[in-house]
Structures are given as C-alpha cells and as structure tokens.
Amino acid sequence: MRVLVVEDDKDIASQLKQALTHSGYAVDVAPDGEEGLYMGQEFPIDLAIIDVGLPKLNGIELVKALRAAGKMFPILILTARGKWQDKVEGLEAGSDDYLVKPFQLEELLARLNALQRRYAGMAQATIEKGPISVNTHKKQVSLHGSDITLTAYEYRLLEYLMMNPGKVISKFELTEHIYDEDIDHDSNVIEVFVGRLRKKLDPKSDYKPIETIRGQGYRFSLG
C-alpha cells in the first residue's frame, strides 16, 4: 500500500515516514499543500495523511481539491489540539478520519489500518484465503497457521493482491503501489517477488494462489 504524507514539519514527516515504512507501507512525502495535490493527483496513492496547517495550500483546501479531482482514497487529517473546527471542516471537506496532535504512532497506524479495511470492504484486520492468512494490522503472514517470513516488498505485493482477489493486476500497477517515489521502478522485479511468494506460500504447487495471466499480469485466485 502506498501512503502520501503531507506535512510541513520535517521532524514529524520524518517520524511518520520511518514508522510507516517499518510497518510495510511505501511512503511519499510532500512538504506543502501544492506538492501534496500534485502527488495525490499524479501518483497511485492508496491512503493519505494530511496536516491541516500546511503552507501554500492548507489541508482543508487540499482535501477539497483532491475530492474534486475524483480522488477517493481514504484521508486522515492531522489537527492541532483544541481546534475542533478543523475536525468538522476536515470531515465536511471529504476526509475520512482525524487525529489530534500530539498523537501516538500506534494509534495512527491503527486508524490507517481501519481506513484501509473499510475502503476495501473488510470488517476484520485479517484476510484469510485458503491456507493463507494475512494480518494487515500486524503485517504478518501465516500458512496453515504457522508464521512465514516475507521481505517488505513481498508483503506489500501479497497484501495488494489479496485485497483485490480475482482481479487481474498488471506488473505496472503492482510496481506503482509497492514502491514509493524515491525507488527506481523496475517492473521486471515483480516477477522475482512473485516467484519467491509462490515458493514460500505454495512450495508443492498444491494451491497455486498467484495465477499468471499471460500478457496482462497476475491474479490472486484463492477464494
């Protein structure tokens, strides 16, 4: 999942990027509202965290502009303590949730996970397909009840496929959603990640959870 962080405080932005990356997200950071609007319109963002007090274009106006542009990904706004008007304006502008500064990173991650599940139509934090289980909150994967170890990119790829079951997803789309802006996007690496996932999730080829659709991409085929 690819998260856009729009925050002008460099320390907070750095902390958010570090925590989100550690939690398995690809992260893009914008220091002001104008750059945030550009990234939100041009990049395939899955979630956004937007501070209300931004330079050039404030967070409320940014949310309105993104919604007016047809961008429907979940948005969490960050507001200053005691400014209840910001919460109301943010929600009315089209944001999905808010968090008051200062906040605990654990709460922010939990709220993001809830927004992600809600947007995908999931009631629970765990996706279970056949013998494969993915806990989207803890970023853990198990096979037949036993935890297996995935790299960060393997996890992002698997999570995106399992949150879009039955959908054929191109290598380009997968690349756009598992990498952030700072990483060189090489779609050929997707084949390597898929090969590793197949070995880890289905070593005996009993289930064939990830199907290759020739000329189109990949599909998670377990129901």
In tens, the pLDDT along 108-142 reads 999 998 888 887 776 677 888 999 999 887 889 99
Q: Are residues 116 and 142 in the same domain?
A: no
Query: How high is the pLDDT of residue 113?
Result: 87
Q: Are residues 171 and 80 in the same domain?
A: no
Domain boundary among 120, 152, 185: 120
Domain boundary among 67, 87, 120: 120
Domain boundary among 79, 105, 120: 120
Q: Are the C-beta atoms of 163 and 120 separated by less than 8 Å?
A: yes
Domain tally for the chain? 2
Q: Residues of the chain whose pLDDT is less than 70?
A: 81-82, 122-123, 181-187
Element (H, E) at 50: strand 47-51
Query: How high is the pLDDT of residue 123?
Result: 61
Q: Are residues 29 and 6 in the same domain?
A: yes
DSSP 159-211: HHHHTSTT--B-HHHHHHHHS-TTS---THHHHHHHHHHHHHH-TTSSS--EE
Q: What is the pTM of this model?
A: 0.75
Q: Residue 147's domain spans which residues?
A: 126-220
CA–CA dist 158, 161 (Å, integer): 5
Query: How high is the pLDDT of residue 179?
Result: 79
Residue 178's domain is classified under what CATH number?
Answer: 1.10.10.10
